[in-house]
Structure 1
Amino acid sequence: MALEQPKSVDATLELLGAGKYVADRSLATALHLALSLGRPLFLEGEAGVGKTEIAKVLSETLGRKLIRLQCYEGLDVSSAVYEWNYARQMVEIRLAEAAGGADRDALAKDIFDERFLIKRPILQALEADEAGAPVLLIDELDRTDEPFEAFLLEVLSDFQVTIPELGPQIAKTPPIVIITSNRTREIHDALKRRCFYYWVDYPSAARELEILKVKAPDAPAELSRQVVAFVHHLRKLDLFKVPGVAETIDWVHALVQLDHLALSPEAIENSLGVLLKYQDDIAKIQGHEATRILNQIKAELAGAAAVA
C-alpha cells in the first residue's frame, strides 16, 4: 500500500528512520525538497556511504515499486529504455506472408505496435502504477558514457521518452528519481541543473555509532565504539580505498559472528579483508600498524570515558 510523501523535513527524517536509515537534517532537507517539488535528487559521494540505500528505503517506506538502472560503460538506449522484440516481429511477418495478401504498410504499422515493445527500466518508470509513482534509481551514473547522459536530459526535463515509431511516452505521474555517482568522472552541468544536488559524506563518529546501533543491534557497545574509532583512523590514512559505512557494518557483523566482544590484534588480523578490499591496503595496515592504531584508540576511548 502506497503512503503519502512526507510533508516536512521532520517527517522526512522520521520516514528515513522508519527504514532504518540514520540521516542528518541536511540530507533530509534535500530529500524533502526533491520529493515536494518533483525534482530528481543527485547524490554524489564515495562508494559505500549509503547513497543507493536511500532509494531502497524510499521504496520500502512509501510502498512504491523500486526500478533500478545499474549503469555501466557502454550502456545504451536498448538496455536502459526500450528495444523492439525483433524475434516476435519476424514471426509476425512470416505468418502474414504465409497467409498471403499482406499489406506492407499495414504490416509495418502492426509490427511496431506496443505488443512488440520490450520495456527497460526507464520506460517502466514512466508507466502509471496503482501503487503510486515508482522510485527510479539510476545507480552509478558516472560509469556511463556522455552520450547516455545527453539522452537522460529529455527524461529528467519532461519525464518522457520519445520512441520514433510510437511518439512521446509521457509519465502521467513523474517517478521519484534518485541518481547516484561515485565521482569517478564529472557529470555534465546540463544534467546536474535538472536535479537537486547533495554530497553524501562519511558520517561523524557519533552518527556512525548510531548507524551501528540500528544496523547491528546485537553488537556489544564496546566493540561498536572501537570499530568506529578504528575505521575513522583508517579514513585519515593514505589508502587506495578507505572503508565506507557499508564496510563498517559488515565488519561489525563479522566480528560478532566470530564471538569477539572487543577488538584485538588477532581479531583485526583475521577479519581485515572484510573491511579493506585491496591487498596493498591490507598489507599496509596489518601487523604492527593495526596494533598501533588499536592501542591509540583504546587510549582515546579510555580518556573520553574518564572525562565523561
Structure 2
Amino acid sequence: MARQVRGKLPQSIDETRALLEAQDYLAGTALATVLFLALRMKRPLFLEGEAGVGKTEIAKVLARALDRPLIRLQCYEGLDVASAVYEWNYPAQMLEIRLSEAAGMVDRQRVESDIFSERFLIRRPVLQAISTTAGGAPVFLIDELDRTDEAFEAFLLEVLSDFQVTIPEIGTIKADEPPIVIITTNRTREIHDALKRRCLYHWVDYPNAAQELEIIRRKVPGCSAALSREIVAYVQRLRTLDLFKNPGVAETIDWATALTELDALALDPEKVADTLGTLLKYQDDIARIEGTEGSRLLGEVKAELLAQG
C-alpha cells in the first residue's frame, strides 16, 4: 500500500485511499478517485447523500491527515453574509470614533479610513478560508448547503469560481492558494446547476455489510466479532424498510458502543428494545421496530448468520 507523507497532498488514488484509511475512514475506489481529482484540479468536491453516511467526516479526516486547519461553515435557514463571510466590529468602531472626537481629530476621511480597516474586520468562515495561513490552504467545509436559501447559494458562486470576496470598504480579498473545499448536502432541496458545475460530484451511499463491519472493528474495538456481525446484519436489514429515517453509520457506531457498555454478547429482543434510542431517532420508527417487525428482523438475522456459519 502506498504511504502518505503527513501534510503532503496524495499523488495517486491509492495514496488518497491510504490517507483516509490511516484515519480510519474506509473509502471505495470511486470516492478516493474523485477526492484525488478534486485535490489535483483544485476544484470543490460536492458530496451528496443521506444524513449519517459520513460526508462531513471526510472533511474532518482530510484536515487531520493533511495537517491543515479545518474551517467549517454550518449552513442553516437565514444564513447571511454577516454570519458567513464578514462583519464590522461596530462597538469597537463606535469607541474609536468617540476617542477620535475626544482627541480633537476632525479629519473625517482619516477617521473613516481608520475604522474601516483590517483591525475592525471580523472574519467569518468564508473570509477565513481564503485568507493566507502559515499551515497552507485550509480545508473549508460548507456543511448542509441545502439548508440555506438560493440567495446565499448564488453568493457562493463568486467564492467558488475565483476564491475571492469583495468588501466595499476595503476591496477584493483573493486567496493566495485556493482552500480545499468540501460541500455537503442531504438533498432536502436541489442545488442550482451553476454551483454544481464548479464542483466535482460524488454520491456517498451507506456502506455495505463488509465495510460497516470493518468500521465497527476500528471505531468500537471492544465490541466482540459475533456481536458486531449481528449489529451490522440487523442495521443492514433495517435500511431496507420504509423508515422515516434510516440509521446512518454514526448510529451504528453508537449502537455498538451502547451494547458493548452493557456487556451484551449477542442481540436479543429485550436488548434491542432497550437500546433502540441510540439507533433510531423518530418515535414512529422506534414503535414499529419494538413490535413484531423487530422480532421478525432479529429472527431473520440470527438465521442468516447461522446459515453462514
TM-score of the two chains, using structure 2 as the length reference: 0.97
How has the CA–CA distance of structure 1 residues 119 and 260 changed in structure 2, closer, same or farther, with 3 Å as cutoff? same
Of 104, 108, 113 in structure 2, the residue corresponding to residue 104 of structure 1 is 108
SS state at 2:21 partner: helix
Q: Does residue 46 of the first structure (1) align with residue 50 of the second (2)?
A: yes
| Contact persistence 1:209–1:228 (CA under 8 A) | yes
| Contact persistence 1:142–1:182 (CA under 8 A) | yes
SS state at 2:73 partner: strand
Of 215, 221, 228 in structure 1, the residue corresponding to residue 219 of structure 2 is 215
Q: Which residue of the partner structure matches residue 126 of structure 2?
A: 122
Cα distance in 2 for partners of 1:37, 1:263 equals 47
Q: Which residue of the partner structure matches residue 148 of structure 1?
A: 152
Instruction: Give the aligned residue type for 1:256.
Output: T
Cα distance in 1 for partners of 2:124, 2:213 equals 39
| Residues paired across the two proteins, number | 305
Cα distance in 1 for partners of 2:89, 2:6 equals 32
Cα distance in 2 for partners of 1:155, 1:39 equals 12
Q: Which residue of the partner structure matches residue 189 of structure 1?
A: 193
Instruction: Give the aligned residue type for 2:15.
Output: A
Q: Which residue of the partner structure matches residue 134 of structure 1?
A: 138
Of 158, 163, 166 in structure 1, the residue corresponding to residue 170 of structure 2 is 166
Instruction: Give the aligned residue type for 2:13.
Output: V
Cα distance in 1 for partners of 2:14, 2:190 equals 32
Instruction: Give the aligned residue type for 1:243.
Output: P
Of 65, 71, 86 in structure 2, the residue corresponding to residue 67 of structure 1 is 71
Instruction: Give the aligned residue type for 1:187.
Output: I
| Contact persistence 1:269–1:287 (CA under 8 A) | no
Q: Which residue of the partner structure matches residue 11 of structure 2?
A: 7
SS state at 1:186 partner: coil
- Deviations 1:255-308 (CA, angstroms, capped at 9, x unpaired): 000000111111101100100000000001113221111111111111122xxx
- Deviations 1:103-156 (CA, angstroms, capped at 9, x unpaired): 111111111011100000110111111111111101000000110000100110
| Contact persistence 1:6–1:15 (CA under 8 A) | yes
Cα distance in 2 for partners of 1:288, 1:60 equals 44
Q: Which residue of the partner structure matches residue 26 of structure 2?
A: 22
- Deviations 1:145-174 (CA, angstroms, capped at 9, x unpaired): 110000100110001101111111000011
- Deviations 1:202-221 (CA, angstroms, capped at 9, x unpaired): 11111111111111122111
Stretches of structure 2 lacking an aligned partner (at least 5 in a row): none
TM superposition shift of 1:84: 0.4
- Alignment root-mean-square deviation, CA: 1.1
TM superposition shift of 1:185: 0.6
Give the percent of matched residue pairs that are identical in Structure 1 and Structure 2: 67
SS state at 1:243 partner: coil
Q: Does residue 257 of the first structure (1) align with residue 292 of the second (2)?
A: no
Cα distance in 1 for partners of 2:209, 2:152 equals 38
TM superposition shift of 1:26: 0.6
SS state at 2:46 partner: strand
- Deviations 1:43-89 (CA, angstroms, capped at 9, x unpaired): 00000000000000011111000111110000000000100011111
SS state at 2:72 partner: strand
Of 270, 273, 280 in structure 2, the residue corresponding to residue 276 of structure 1 is 280
Q: Which residue of the partner structure matches residue 294 of structure 1?
A: 298
Instruction: Give the aligned residue type for 1:234.
Output: L
Instruction: Give the aligned residue type for 2:279.
Output: L
Cα distance in 1 for partners of 2:107, 2:261 equals 69
Cα distance in 2 for partners of 1:48, 1:257 equals 22
Cα distance in 1 for partners of 2:18, 2:12 equals 10
Cα distance in 1 for partners of 2:60, 2:217 equals 20
Cα distance in 2 for partners of 1:113, 1:272 equals 54
Structure 1 consecutive aligned stretches of length 4 or more whose deviation exceeds 4 Å: none
- Deviations 1:172-221 (CA, angstroms, capped at 9, x unpaired): 01111101000011111111110000000011111111111111122111
With 42-51 and 201-210 compared, the bigger mean Cα shift is at 201-210
TM superposition shift of 1:2: 6.2
SS state at 1:292 partner: helix
Cα distance in 2 for partners of 1:19, 1:299 equals 35
SS state at 2:50 partner: coil
Q: Does residue 83 of the first structure (1) align with residue 78 of the second (2)?
A: no
Cα distance in 2 for partners of 1:25, 1:210 equals 16
Of 37, 42, 46 in structure 1, the residue corresponding to residue 41 of structure 2 is 37
With 163-172 and 95-104 compared, the bigger mean Cα shift is at 95-104
